[in-house]
Structure 1
Amino acid sequence: MPSLPWSDIDTVLLDMDGTLLDLHFDNHFWLEHLPQRYAELHGISRAMAELELQPLFERHAGQLQWYCLDFWSAELKLSVRELKQETAHLIALRPDADTFLNAIKRGGKRVIMITNAHRDSLSLKLERIELAPYFERLISSHDYGFPKENPQFWDALRADIGFDPARSLFIDDTLPILRSARDFGVAHLLAVKEPDSRKGPKDTAEFTAVGDYRDLIANL
């Protein structure tokens, strides 16, 4: 992949799930563990659980409530927080993400996490993986009331942290979010080649994808 123009970058904005952490935990939870536990708790078959859950997931995808544990706990009549604890052992750092974080912090860059994860999800992951020391701020889109897919998220972010989009790098594994950042004017954008370690590389469309974080810091 091409070298990053680090002299033109002051702020590094980083997603969490699928970017710094292996997306396997989230995919396994929402596609396997939750449907199974939903079926058990409601006394229905796994197939019936999936039939009930799939349209709900599709209806709310990309909206703030999709990422909200309170919303899903109420909607599904179960404690999503407790169910996530049951699979927390699957939470894992992506290869060399910590090496990358160390390097950009030492390089004097302003490093800020921006995640759509609900604060309870963020807390659960920070209990398992020590990410907080690398960051100036850990921002959840729930703090602003808009997901990263929404242009209003970016307006709120700039008002909050005062960053210059033209001198910022943003890395995320979700294409609609990268497009939203591009529309806002974020100049340096990277997708993630393999956000889920169990699923292989994904098509990142028009975006250059990072496969090995060590490649990004070679010229830092």
Structure 2
Amino acid sequence: MIRRLKSAASPVYGSAKPRVAWRPPLNARRSLYRGRVVDLGMEAVCLPDGRTLELEVVRHPGGAAVVALNAQHEICLLRQYRHAGGGWLWELPAGKLEPGEAALTTAQRELEEEAGLRAVHWQALANVLTTPGFCDEAIHLFLARELHTVPVQHQEHECIEVHWFPFTAALAMAQRGEIRDAKTLLGLFYTATYGADHTP
């Protein structure tokens, strides 16, 4: 079961017409590096003002992250070692989309593998871009309720500890700067704004 949030449309300032999504035409892409996670290339694009130039762009399949709340209104946070991030970080259970995989399927798989949890009720919170200046990675955020435990299945490259905090305590951690991971901060924000008191 999945529920999608309803929200007011964002205003378009300075125009009476609705904003139309625009994507620059891709004239050419020259691959520089293709790895297990990312694809880095030089892309020739035409800007809205007519100029053309080459941009370094990282293509990423995207991912899904889960705000898992139990009956005591506690949130599951992972303490995870991230080499690129400089050490240990507090994060939501999350992972990369596999080819052709729905975001909800990714979220359900990662919640089970990383946190050892399954959820009955799912709510879509948001779809956010992580670093749009050079990367197209999008993270789908979900709220998961009515949880049941299953065995964890951590991957070989993962170094993860599973912790539970009262949701208000997690918000306080974010305010103190103890949570720095962007998807986790956004998950807390959307849950506090729209979903924390939602009754499935």
- TM-score interval (norm. to shorter): under 0.3
- TM, length-normalised to structure 1: 0.24
- Higher helix content, 1 or 2: 1
- Higher strand content, 1 or 2: 2
- TM, length-normalised to structure 2: 0.26
Q: Which has the larger radius of gyration?
A: 2
Structure number with higher relative contact order (C-alpha < 8 Å, ≥ 6 residues apart): 1
